[in-house]
Chain A
Amino acid sequence: MTARWYVRQVAAFGLPGHDHPIRGCGDGGVLRQPLDPATFGGLVALVRRLRLTGLLQAVVVADALPVTEDQRRRADDLHVSACITALLLERTLLNVVDALERAGVEVLVLKGSAAAHLLYADPTLRMFGDNDLLFRSEQFAEALELLARLGYRRAAVAPRRGFDRRFGKGATLTGASGDELDVHRTLLFGSFGLTIELDELFDSAVTFVVGGRQLRALGPDMGLLHACYHAALGDPEPRLGSLRDVAQRFALGSHDPGSVVQFARRWRAEPVVARAIDLCGQRLGVDIADPVATVLAGHRPSRREQRAIDSYVGANRSHAAKVLASLPYLDGVIDKAAFLGANLVPAAGFIRSRGGRPGPAWLRRGVRSLRHGGAR
């Protein structure tokens, strides 16, 4: 509990109103002495797990957290290790994007390196542990083939042929050196991913520079929406780093609030944005003061919207729950039937990749998970 008190402050450090010295959890006054070894150890463990080493560095360098020489060295070593991971990932990113673009595949970088270079004057503040790429639906299969030739393997296959292009979120690939590459067609699986107008993600792309090369990323409006999706629905326990991305984007103010609200309404994403803003306040301690918050923060999810949200972060996050919650978000009977059919009777390879047994056992498993809940 104590380490969580401090890591929350680290995660918010540098945001408007949050550049003050770290406060102690006892009386809430400014810390005058370094943390005791157990508490600092707990903080460091959390910072490492949540990839907040850059922000911890910022806190210490700004003298906002008193530290012993040993504690400073630990924080430094931890951050150097995180930096090396990020740099190796950026090298991989450059090689992969180069190969894709030479083959005529359009690609946007999501989160990770894009967030580091676009949201911060010093990219060291934003660490990351994998690369995420976004492709156009019509190029998704081609991108996967090319990545396979580069040595990337996909663990979980699509439920059926054509599912990726029509409904899929994407896939997680593993490279020959063990690096993880998340490839996306939309921003998330199911309900809220199905309503995104995907071409719009590419319309407003911006560029950033890594190693002398230009890479492309989501524009400010799309980037903010994506950050909200990820923070609100990406993990049952919202990650502080994801919330920091939302708060950082709002603080930067590069987005057009009217445009963000318009997209959120068109994509039926008002409850997602509202949840992200609410979580920034509750979990990060950062109140978002922005016209987007003024319009959307008070949004109360309908029963359908709450069921959709629960399928991502509620007690029952099973695949079956997501599939059912997604149906109202699909247009037309044909799409609903195709989506449902692919998930009720998927290919045997898909079932095995999810640890199941092909045949009636798969359906029984789905029914059980609907009744009794469970993780995805």
Chain B
Amino acid sequence: MSTWRRDERALWRRSFDRIVILAAERPEPLLLEGTGRVIWDLLEEPRECAELIMMLAEAFRRDAAEVDLETTPFLMELRAAGALAVT
């Protein structure tokens, strides 16, 4: 079971409802808002994928299977962008 967490090398700050992230060795900052911001907040501590999906489904009052379909690619994007890490 994969565990997602914030990449500790990523530098970040909060501005209102957005998160500004400067991932390690990336030239440009990343801005997270909406679902991206919620994911970042939920990953204040590492979470197993299934737990993260359930929490998102609850937060947005949606079916977990649908959330899983949409969220997993997004998590992979954030990992590729250096914001998240997975073990």
B-binding residues in A (CB < 8 A): 57, 60-61, 72, 75-76, 79-80, 83-84, 86-88, 90-91, 122-124, 210-212
Contact = CB atoms under 8 A, between A and B. Distances in A.
Given A84-B29, A211-B8, A212-B8, A76 B13 contact: no
B15 A88 contact: no
B62 interface: no
Given A90-B11, A210-B11, A212-B8, A57 B22 contact: no
Nearest to A60: B16
A13 to B, nearest CB: 15
B20 interface: yes
Interface residues of B, number: 17
Contacts of B21: 87
* A contacts with B: majority SS: helix
Given A211-B8, A211-B24, A212-B8, A87 B29 contact: yes
Interface string B69-84: 0000000000000000
A66 to B, nearest CB: 15
Contacts of B18: 76, 80
Contacts of B22: 84, 87-88, 90-91
B16 A76 contact: yes
A61 B11 contact: no
A210 B17 CA distance: 22
B68 to A, nearest CB: 29
Interface string B1-20: 00000001111111111101
Given A72-B16, A83-B15, 18 more contacts: A57-B15, A57-B16, A76-B16, A79-B16, A80-B18, A86-B13, A87-B11, A87-B20, A87-B22, A87-B29, A88-B22, A90-B11, A91-B22, A122-B14, A123-B13, A210-B11, A211-B8, A211-B10
Contacts of B31: 80
A211 B22 CA distance: 10
A210 B8 CA distance: 9
* B contacts with A: majority SS: strand
A3 B83 CA distance: 38
A93 to B, nearest CB: 10
20 contacts: A57-B16, A61-B16, A72-B16, A79-B16, A80-B18, A83-B13, A83-B15, A84-B20, A84-B22, A84-B29, A86-B13, A87-B13, A87-B29, A90-B22, A91-B22, A122-B14, A124-B15, A211-B8, A211-B9, A211-B10
A128 to B, nearest CB: 11
Contacts of A212: 8-9
A124 B10 contact: no
A233 to B, nearest CB: 30
